[in-house]
Amino acid sequence: MGRAWWAPPRGGRRGGWIFALGIGFFLMAAAGIAGATPPIVSQVAPDLGLANPSVSPMPPYEGDVVHVTVTIANVGDVAAFTASVELIDSRPNGDVISIGRSSIPNPLGPLQSAVLEAPPFFAVGIGEHTLTLRVIDVTPAESNASHDVLSLWMQVLPAKTSPPPPSSSDGLRAEALEALGVGAVLGFLFVVAAIGIAIALVARRRPTELEPPPPEPSDESPPPLWPP
């Protein structure tokens, strides 16, 4: 039998070193990518959002009482024990008025919703208003507050004017009724005055009727002469 012998692979030791360096660089790159990516940690917290706003009446006239409702929903992982919705009115003249806030009546669990009505307010200022609804005072704190603000547009019209004056026929009818009313009042006053005058005359005549007649004058003529 011949003596066994081993032949090195092609490239010799140089090829082996290159292969080993390639494996090392690959492992280092994989470790760097793993270190640069932070671990994903689930955030257990409520996540509230606003939807379906409603304004009544729409459009409002200046001086009307405006009612605003909105739906608040929890798309988070745990219940929100407290939460409120604030309504802000940005008026055409630049004034920003906080109308008030409404709170959820009960804790809002995951995937639950409730309809809240903001405090009613008067429509003040003719023109374009911006109504802003925002979620505040959430307990426990939210994990995502990107759905907490909702804005809508409201156009306030001038106040309603009084009805137009009546037409000619209606005006004549109204004048006739007014004349009849004045005549009736004057007639009533005339009757009352006549009754008062009659009562005064009767009252004046009664004392004279009750007085006794004056006595007859005594007979002062000389006695009759008898014949002689």
pLDDT of 160: 85
pLDDT of 196: 75
pLDDT of 151: 96
Mean pLDDT of 113-134: 97
Alpha-carbon span 42 to 47, nearest angstrom: 13
Q: In terms of CATH architecture, what is 48-156?
A: Sandwich (2.60)
Q: Is the pLDDT of residue 221 over 70?
A: no
Q: What is the 3-state secondary structure (H, E, C) of 156-173?
A: EECCCCCCCCCCHHHHHH
Q: Is the pLDDT of residue 202 over 50?
A: yes
Mean pLDDT of 182-201: 73
Predicted structure pTM score: 0.54
Give the start-to-end residue ranges of the domains of the chain: 48-156
pLDDT of 195: 81
Mean pLDDT of 77-92: 96
- The residues near 154 (Cβ < 8 Å, ≥ 6 apart) are 55, 58, 59, 60, 66, 123, 128, 129, 130, 131
Ramachandran assignment for 125, one of left (phi > 0), alpha (psi -120 to 50 degrees), beta (any other): left
Q: pLDDT band at residue 213, thresholds of 50, 70 and 90?
A: low
